[in-house]
Amino acid sequence: MRHSTFRQLEVFEALARLGSFTRAAEELFLTQPTASMQIKKLTDAVGLQLYEQVGKRIYLTDAGKALQSTCRELFESLNNFEMLVSDMKGLKQDKLRLAVVTTAKYFAPRLLGPFCNQYPGIDVSLKVSNRERLLERLGNNMDDLYILGQPPEGLEVISEPFLDNPLVVLAPNDHPLVGKRNIPLARLAEEPFIMREPGSGTRIAVERLFLEQGHAIKMRMELGSNEAIKQAIVGGLGLSVLSRHTLALDAATGQLATLDVEHFPIQRQWYAVHPSGKQLTVVAQTFLDYLRSAARNLNEIPCHHAQQAGACPLITAPEPVATPGAKSPRSTSAMARRRR
Ligand code: PGA
Kindly compute the dihedral angle of the four CA atoms of residues 63, 68, 70, 75, in this order, to the nearest 10 degrees.
160
CA–CA separation, 182 vs 168, rounded Å? 13
Q: Give one DSSP letter per residue of 158-178, joined into a string.
A: EEEEEEEEEEEEEEETT-TTT
> What is the pLDDT at residue 334?
29
How many Cα atoms occupy the beta-carbon half-sphere of 29 within 13 Å? 0
Prediction pTM value? 0.62
CA of 222 to the centre of ligand 1 (A): 15
CA of 131 to the centre of ligand 1 (A): 6
> What is the pLDDT at residue 222?
95
Whether 161 lines ligand 1, by a CB cut-off of 6 Å, is no
Atom of ligand 1 nearest to the CA of 201: 8
Q: What are phi and psi of 306, to 5 degrees?
A: -55, -35
Whether 90 lines ligand 1, by a CB cut-off of 6 Å, is no
Are 211 and 238 within 8 A, CB to CB? no
Q: What is the DSSP letter of 86?
A: H
Considering 177-181, 328-332, 336-340, the range whose residues carry the highest mean pLDDT is 177-181
CA–CA separation, 300 vs 245, rounded Å? 11
> What is the pLDDT at residue 304?
38
CA–CA separation, 323 vs 329, rounded Å? 9
Whether 196 lines ligand 1, by a CB cut-off of 6 Å, is yes
Whether 102 lines ligand 1, by a CB cut-off of 6 Å, is yes
Whether 149 lines ligand 1, by a CB cut-off of 6 Å, is yes
* Band of residue 34 on the pLDDT scale cut at 50, 70, 90: very high
CA of 200 to the centre of ligand 1 (A): 5
- Nearest Cα to 247, choosing from 307, 204, 296, 302? 302
Whether 159 lines ligand 1, by a CB cut-off of 6 Å, is no
Whether 151 lines ligand 1, by a CB cut-off of 6 Å, is no
CA of 178 to the centre of ligand 1 (A): 25
Element (H, E) at 230: helix 226-234
Atom of ligand 1 nearest to the CA of 132: 4
CA of 137 to the centre of ligand 1 (A): 15
Tens of pLDDT, residue by residue over 98-150, are 999 989 988 888 888 888 888 888 889 998 988 888 998 898 888 999 999 98
Instruction: List residues bridging with 165 in a β-sheet.
Output: 268
CA of 230 to the centre of ligand 1 (A): 15
Report the Cα–Cα distance between both ends of the chain, in Å, rounded: 29
95-101/145-148 β-pairing: parallel
Whether 101 lines ligand 1, by a CB cut-off of 6 Å, is yes
Tens of pLDDT, residue by residue over 51-69, are 998 887 889 999 999 999 9
Atom of ligand 1 nearest to the CA of 131: 4
Tens of pLDDT, residue by residue over 36-47, are 999 999 999 999
Are 316 and 295 within 8 A, CB to CB? no
Instruction: List residues bridging with 272 in a β-sheet.
Output: 147, 160
- Nearest Cα to 103, choosing from 238, 16, 196, 5? 196
Average pLDDT, the chain: 82
CA of 278 to the centre of ligand 1 (A): 24
CA of 75 to the centre of ligand 1 (A): 46
* Band of residue 319 on the pLDDT scale cut at 50, 70, 90: very low
Is the pLDDT confidence value at 89 over 80? no
Using DSSP, state whether 222 is helix, strand or coil: strand
Beta-carbon contacts of residue 160 (< 8 Å; ≥ 6 apart): 271, 272, 273, 288, 292, 320, 323, 329
> What is the pLDDT at residue 282?
83
Whether 148 lines ligand 1, by a CB cut-off of 6 Å, is yes
Using DSSP, state whether 307 is helix, strand or coil: coil
> What is the pLDDT at residue 297?
66
